[in-house]
Structure 1
Amino acid sequence: MKKGDFIVIGTILLAACIGFGILFWMGRQQAGTVRIFKDGKEAGVYSLDKDQEIQVDGGENVVVIENGKVRMQSASCPDQICVKQGEIGKKGESIICLPNEVVVSVEEGEESGVDAVTN
């Protein structure tokens, strides 16, 4: 092997390391932020990084943050649609409890991607 061969191999390895570094840096997810509103007023801002249970309006609604996702664990409303909705965790997703006027919205974090395709 000659000196030129080592330079070519070194350049290829350096380019591969830089490429993997860029992919790793771009692949990291930003910690999401959840905002909870009650009666149109902000009741709190929480991070999706920290697992916790939040009681809204004295326990009328219970919101749980686990593993980077948020869900409505329980609600005092009769239809329970907000509880049945399940988990959310991507930017722009919301859980809404109309009878109790509670909105849980993911404000920052992973992008939700494409919701529709048109021709």
Structure 2
Amino acid sequence: MPQKMGKNDFFLLFALAIIFIIFFTFFYLFEVKEGKSIIVTVNGKEYGKYELATNQSIKIKYNGKVINELQIKDGKASMQSATCPDKLCVKQHEISKKNETIVCLPNKVVVTVVYDDVNNGDNIDAISK
């Protein structure tokens, strides 16, 4: 004869359901999205936007001189060369996920992955709307 469920059994099922909801809510809110493009800034000003889907090499210039060279290949961006003395930006890993960055502090170059399309032009986030 099957046993009936008691108070403790219902409590256990309720607790497991709450844990399940919290677990999936956490992963839904903090999911890591692949970026669609990158934004390059030099000295705090936007230098350019580039699609990660297009393989290319970008020579970043400041005051007429090439200070960094960025490569986009297979949907990932990486710094290939820099004129800074420590070259830490060149040693950073490739980036492709939303909000990942490569920073070259001496040259004031920041490369950030964004989820928006380059051609979209609408970089307003949900909070700004």
Q: TM-score, normalised by structure 1?
A: 0.64
Q: Secondary structure at the match of 1:56?
A: strand
Q: Aligned equivalents of 1:45 and 1:64: distance in 2?
A: 13
What's the offset of the Cα at 1:42? 0.3
Q: Secondary structure at the match of 2:66?
A: coil
Match of 1:63 among 45, 70, 80: 70
Where structure 1 has 5 or more consecutive residues not aligned to the other structure, the ranges are: 1-28, 110-119
What amino acid does structure 2 have at the position aligned with 1:101?
Answer: K
Contact 2:76 2:94 (C-alpha < 8 Å) held by counterparts:
yes
Contact 1:31 1:49 (C-alpha < 8 Å) held by counterparts:
no
Alignment of 1:4-23 (within 5 A): none
Equivalenced residues, count: 81
What's the offset of the Cα at 1:108? 1.1
Where structure 2 has 5 or more consecutive residues not aligned to the other structure, the ranges are: 1-32, 117-129
Q: Aligned equivalents of 1:65 and 1:49: distance in 2?
A: 8
Match of 1:73 among 80, 90, 103: 80
Contact 2:55 2:72 (C-alpha < 8 Å) held by counterparts:
yes
Q: Aligned equivalents of 2:46 and 2:88: distance in 1?
A: 22
Q: Secondary structure at the match of 2:99?
A: coil
The residue aligned with 1:52 is 56
Q: TM-score, normalised by structure 2?
A: 0.59
Q: Alignment RMSD, CA only? A: 1.6
Contact 2:68 2:82 (C-alpha < 8 Å) held by counterparts:
yes
Q: Secondary structure at the match of 1:83?
A: helix
Q: Aligned equivalents of 2:39 and 2:87: distance in 1?
A: 20
